[in-house]
Chain A
């Protein structure tokens, strides 16, 4: 049972446009959410997080939106750059839990074209 779903395995966006990556979850106990970026042959790198008390968190070109009623979060990248081409994983965990309780999605491969 996939509790965190990233239904789009891949996404192609033109440089300068907005990239929107989506993530759905089913477990209502999930309380905080993270996005990681992964380049080939490297480990995942933390990008941005949000807790359930917020519906938006912004860091530079990256914004994460959380819709708790829909159990849906999205990552917006504006403007997209070629260096953003990577696999993006969303992850979710319960309040106060250790990272052992994190559940990762299967990832979305973003390709930013010139």
Chain B
């Protein structure tokens, strides 16, 4: 399978705990995106990487959120001191970055539930 993979698929945690998600993009893609999706809404941009450089962060990304892509391949998204409002689907997507109008390939997401 050469698509975007995300791990874990589901995460249940207690309020105040830290969680970390992993994303493996399509291997030849140099751009990697993180989105959040809540029920009844479309995906909302959080942050993206061009290779290992984090080029943009949304105002949705509070100080409790941090993302890394240390070697320009896989990425991790960590949420510290989780809150109930963090409950959402966290989607990772990648793209080649070579298209004028960029097309994203999404993973299946990590569903986070904060109790």
Contact = CB atoms under 8 A, between A and B. Distances in A.
A104 interface: yes
Interface in A6-51: 9, 31-32, 34, 36, 41-46, 49, 51
B48 A44 contact: no
B104 A46 contact: yes
Interface in B5-56: 6, 9, 31, 33, 40-45, 48, 55-56
B93 A43 contact: yes
Nearest to A4: B42
Given A46-B105, A51-B101, A99-B104, A104 B56 contact: no
Interface in A75-110: 89, 91, 93, 95-100, 102-107
B74 interface: no
Contacts, number: 72
Interface centre among B43, B56, B91, B100 (most CB of A within 10 A): B43
User: Is the interface on chain A under 10, 10 to 19, 20 to 34, or 35 or more residues?
Assistant: 20 to 34
A43 B109 contact: yes
A44 to B, nearest CB: 5
A104 B44 contact: yes
Interface in B61-115: 91, 93, 95, 97, 100-109
Interface of B: 4, 6, 9, 31, 33, 40-45, 48, 55-56, 58, 91, 93, 95, 97, 100-109
Interface of A: 4, 9, 31-32, 34, 36, 41-46, 49, 51, 89, 91, 93, 95-100, 102-107
